[in-house]
Structure 1
Amino acid sequence: MLGKKSKDDKKAATLAQLDADDIRLALQDWDASCIDTVIPDQLAMYSGRFAQWEHQLIAGFNLLFTGLGSKLQLLQSFACHLNHMHVLQIHGYLPSVSIRYVVTTLFANLFNQKPPANRSVEEQCMECAHLLHTSPPSVSVCLVIHSIDGISLRGAGTQRALSILAACRFIHVVGSIDHLNAASLWEESDTKRFGWLEHIVHMYAPYTNETLVSTTWGSRGKTGAAPTAVSGIKYILESLTPTDLAVLRALGTQQLKDGGSMVEYKPFVDQCRKAMLVSSVQAMRNAIACLTEHGLVVTNKADQMRVPYGDHTIQHTILGLNPPAEDDGEGEEGEKEDGHEGNAIAESVATE
């Protein structure tokens, strides 16, 4: 059970969240006020190496970029330079990014089909590599992964799946890392599959975009899970199946009724089955697993779960309800979520 909240905490739960555009504009104004020619000079210097880096990709290496400052602008410019291959940019610093969405995007754009069902994400990556080897004419694909050590990509399974893609000779990977201990993410087998060629690039650029989605904009819930960005929820909701969306909204409604406390799993399953939201217990498990993967649901060891957001976000973004009165705030954690406009995955498929 959640602790008792003061009146200020209850009122804070009903307040509108900071708009991502306002935060972005404030940071951009700050950057503009600090006139510095170092970043443009560094970008111009490293742009002269694009042809060399491209040849290294063609030679079979995957490129890993380290160094001081954000490398987002540099890798975006390099992605535009790779106009002879398909390019998929993955923003790994976004909490809402999903390896399954990456695989689904590859299958949809390259083969005009869905990934094979009832397969693990690693098996789907193997199938993607196999199709690239056997589909004439074979195309080259470059995955540009901004912050491959990002919070949503750090899992061992995710890194293993990415390394399987990287091992395919028709798939090239360009990644950036920002953490000193990022190399500890990879097991020896993963490192061999990645085949990294490391480049140290000091851009000295501020982490403006990365900061906008940092979990430090808001607090974590008692589960310790990092919630998905508020504006990122909107894009995820559009990609959910009707069943998953119905389960999420039912959980949010029940959580509001319970004053923000954790919802018991078994009674909630029975409730959803009676409402004909799911057809079986297995379907319910699949829905919860999907929502958990997207950061929309958190669970604990006591078979309890909740939506890791404040009342305002649940009511407006997830349920689409009208704003509650200021003095009607329920006892809630009062978490604030980070804002960031744009998809978790920005893709640009170049025509040949």
Structure 2
Amino acid sequence: MEGTSLKTPRRAKTEDAQEVYYPKTPYNIRARVKKKLIDFNSSVEELVDDSDKDSDYTISESESSSDQSTFDSTEESEEDNSDSEIKANNSVSSKSTEAAKHDDFKKMEKINLTKKRKIRMYIVNTDDYFSAQSSKKSVTSNNTLDKLKTAKLDQGQLQKLLLKANACKHHAKCFSELEQYNKTNFIKWLSLLHEGFNLLLYGLGSKKNILTIFQEQYLTEQPVVVVNGFFPSLTLKNVLDSILVDVLESSQNPGNHQEACDIITELMHQNEGMHLYVIFNNIDGNNLRSGKCQNVLARLGSINNLHIIATIDHINAPIIWDQSRTSKFNFVWWDVTTFEYYLIETCFEDSMLVQRSGTLALSSLNNVFMSLTKNAKSIYLIIVKYQLENKKSQHYEGLLFKDLYWACREAFLVSSDLALRAQLTEFVDHKMVKFKRSISGGEHLIIPLQNSLLQQFVDEQPV
């Protein structure tokens, strides 16, 4: 019996035989094989899941449960006969169990190797994160400055409070040293301008004060046009009209910007001995940074006897100039750091702490008025004084345009109707004056400010 191996019994080849008895496998062998089959089944299921279900075959739970029930039902009946059978076949089954163990061990090693070689890919799904975060409530506060119950201030009061807390007082010596250092470069600036270059001043702090000092010391005998690019209503037409009408005194005033540049170029070539200086405070202002405006200004900068001195404060200001515009401007970049506050440049910005009385605050009116030419100031004061003289009139419609023209003509402020209209256009753009047409068809000029503010404005002007 020890040299023989177990074989699967076959049905007897007898036709008369009704029942055939098969030799039963010992109980301990069946228990061990069953346990290893269950383990093998579970490992196969894991491999099927890892390989994205390459094989559709899986051992169903019903089959395993049926095996378990069959085994349990026959277990009790077989236990009685198992002891005798185990003793009889102990020597025969020892070798077969060892061979079965060896085969099962090799199979399990192959399964473990394939599981280790299998690389699990973990892919992060970002949509799940955002969908989970979107369900959360926003924790942003709805509190704004409008909900504060503090009284709003006038622009003048706000500037006075800011000046009281001005840090310049604590660093006055350092600021004065910086100003003196910048003044030593005035002669260099003037020589560069006469050599055909234009100046571009950059650096931290307002540069309007240093440019005003440069103008007063070196450009008093030369024609100068000052353009404040931070004005919210400034247009390119205002710049061209100031050069054509106020400085060159040209009778031609075309609406096309390119035609106006052609006329300015022709007149400047005819007057080669004249040097015109155009000072741009913030050439990178909101109304001047468009490509159309910069192309026109670059053409002006290419004129030999027209010199541009400009300042920039925006960190991305150089982006507005391409290679063509840069070559026409021919800028020399100069660092003019002053650390001064941008009080004038920011007075036109909307602030929730400021209460504006009327269309234009008094402080803004003063700033605009200071940038006007001498003749423009006189024209505006005529309108202001006429409105104050008629403030008690209940049916005051404004100053008639014809009356203003003859008053300016007698004071030698304008020479023609077109020159006066060009100057009034600048007032309208800055919201300093409004036009009203009466029933009779006449044009009337009125200032959209309270009479008390106008009286305060007149009192502040030097006699």
Q: Is the 8 A contact 2:244 2:253 kept in 1?
A: no
AA aligned opposite 2:244: F
1:106 aligns with 2:243: yes
- 2:193 corresponds in structure 1 to 57
1:113-162 deviation per Cα after TM superposition (whole angstroms, max 9, x unaligned): 34433x41232122112111113x63111111111111121121111111
- 1:133 corresponds in structure 2 to 269
> Shift of the alpha carbon at 1:191?
1.3
- 1:192 corresponds in structure 2 to 327
AA aligned opposite 2:228: H
User: Which is further off, 87-96 or 24-33?
Assistant: 24-33
Q: Secondary structure at the match of 2:166?
A: helix
Q: For the structure 1 residues 28 and 213, does the alpha-carbon distance in structure 2 shift closer, same or farther, using more than 3 Å as the test? A: same
1:66 aligns with 2:202: yes
Q: For the structure 1 residues 21 and 120, does the alpha-carbon distance in structure 2 shift closer, same or farther, using more than 3 Å as the test? A: same
Q: Is the 8 A contact 2:283 2:312 kept in 1?
A: yes
1:211-260 deviation per Cα after TM superposition (whole angstroms, max 9, x unaligned): 212245589xxxxxxxx965568979x99xxxxxxxxxxxxxxxxxxxxx
Give the whole-Å Cα distance in 2 for the aligned partners of 1:73 and 1:127.
Answer: 32
Aligned-residue RMSD, C-alpha:
3.8
TM-score norm. by structure 1 comes to 0.56
Q: Is the 8 A contact 1:20 1:212 kept in 2?
A: yes
AA aligned opposite 1:57: L
- The alignment of Structure 1 onto Structure 2 pairs a total of residues equal to 232
Q: For the structure 1 residues 216 and 151, does the alpha-carbon distance in structure 2 shift closer, same or farther, using more than 3 Å as the test? A: farther
Q: For the structure 1 residues 33 and 173, does the alpha-carbon distance in structure 2 shift closer, same or farther, using more than 3 Å as the test? A: closer
Between structure 1 and structure 2, the one with the greater Rg is 2
Q: Is the 8 A contact 1:98 1:152 kept in 2?
A: yes
> Shift of the alpha carbon at 1:167?
0.8
Q: Secondary structure at the match of 2:293?
A: helix
1:183 aligns with 2:318: yes
1:47 to 162, 176, 183: 183
Q: Secondary structure at the match of 2:344?
A: helix
Could you say which structure has the greater relative contact order, defined with CA pairs below 8 angstroms and 6 or more residues apart?
1
Q: Secondary structure at the match of 1:210?
A: coil
- Unaligned stretches of 5+ residues in structure 2: 1-145, 370-375, 378-424, 432-445, 452-456, 458-463
1:97 aligns with 2:234: yes
Q: For the structure 1 residues 124 and 65, does the alpha-carbon distance in structure 2 shift closer, same or farther, using more than 3 Å as the test? A: same
Give the whole-Å Cα distance in 2 for the aligned partners of 1:185 and 1:218.
Answer: 33
Query: Quick one: percent identity of the two aligned structures?
Result: 24
1:157-195 deviation per Cα after TM superposition (whole angstroms, max 9, x unaligned): 111111111111111001111111101112322111111
Give the whole-Å Cα distance in 2 for the aligned partners of 1:218 and 1:317.
Answer: 25
AA aligned opposite 1:152: N
Q: Secondary structure at the match of 1:81?
A: helix
AA aligned opposite 2:280: I
Q: Is the 8 A contact 2:284 2:317 kept in 1?
A: yes
Q: For the structure 1 residues 229 and 210, does the alpha-carbon distance in structure 2 shift closer, same or farther, using more than 3 Å as the test? A: farther
Q: Is the 8 A contact 1:27 1:208 kept in 2?
A: no
Q: For the structure 1 residues 164 and 230, does the alpha-carbon distance in structure 2 shift closer, same or farther, using more than 3 Å as the test? A: farther
- 1:79 corresponds in structure 2 to 215
Q: Is the 8 A contact 1:122 1:161 kept in 2?
A: yes
Give the whole-Å Cα distance in 1 for the aligned partners of 2:205 and 2:244.
Answer: 33
Q: Is the 8 A contact 2:152 2:352 kept in 1?
A: no
Give the whole-Å Cα distance in 2 for the aligned partners of 1:114 and 1:23.
Answer: 44
Give the whole-Å Cα distance in 2 for the aligned partners of 1:217 and 1:75.
Answer: 31
Give the whole-Å Cα distance in 1 for the aligned partners of 2:218 and 2:320.
Answer: 27
TM-score norm. by structure 2 comes to 0.44
Q: For the structure 1 residues 44 and 185, does the alpha-carbon distance in structure 2 shift closer, same or farther, using more than 3 Å as the test? A: same
Q: Is the 8 A contact 1:99 1:158 kept in 2?
A: yes
> Shift of the alpha carbon at 1:22?
2.5
Q: For the structure 1 residues 210 and 200, does the alpha-carbon distance in structure 2 shift closer, same or farther, using more than 3 Å as the test? A: same
Give the whole-Å Cα distance in 2 for the aligned partners of 1:168 and 1:218.
Answer: 45
AA aligned opposite 1:98: T
Q: Is the 8 A contact 1:69 1:206 kept in 2?
A: yes
Q: For the structure 1 residues 55 and 19, does the alpha-carbon distance in structure 2 shift closer, same or farther, using more than 3 Å as the test? A: same
Q: For the structure 1 residues 34 and 148, does the alpha-carbon distance in structure 2 shift closer, same or farther, using more than 3 Å as the test? A: same
- 2:161 corresponds in structure 1 to 26
Q: Is the 8 A contact 1:23 1:212 kept in 2?
A: no
> Shift of the alpha carbon at 1:318?
4.3
AA aligned opposite 1:206: Y
Give the whole-Å Cα distance in 2 for the aligned partners of 1:125 and 1:28.
Answer: 42
Q: Is the 8 A contact 2:302 2:329 kept in 1?
A: yes
1:76-128 deviation per Cα after TM superposition (whole angstroms, max 9, x unaligned): 212223324222221111212222112111122323234433x4123212211
Q: For the structure 1 residues 156 and 115, does the alpha-carbon distance in structure 2 shift closer, same or farther, using more than 3 Å as the test? A: farther
1:166 to 289, 292, 301: 301
> Shift of the alpha carbon at 1:319?
8.9
Runs (4+) of structure 1 exceeding 6 A deviation are 233-236
Counterparts in 2 of 1:1-352, with a 5 A limit? 18-31=153-166, 34-36=169-171, 37-83=173-219, 84-117=221-254, 119-135=255-271, 138-216=273-351, 230=361, 294=429, 318=448
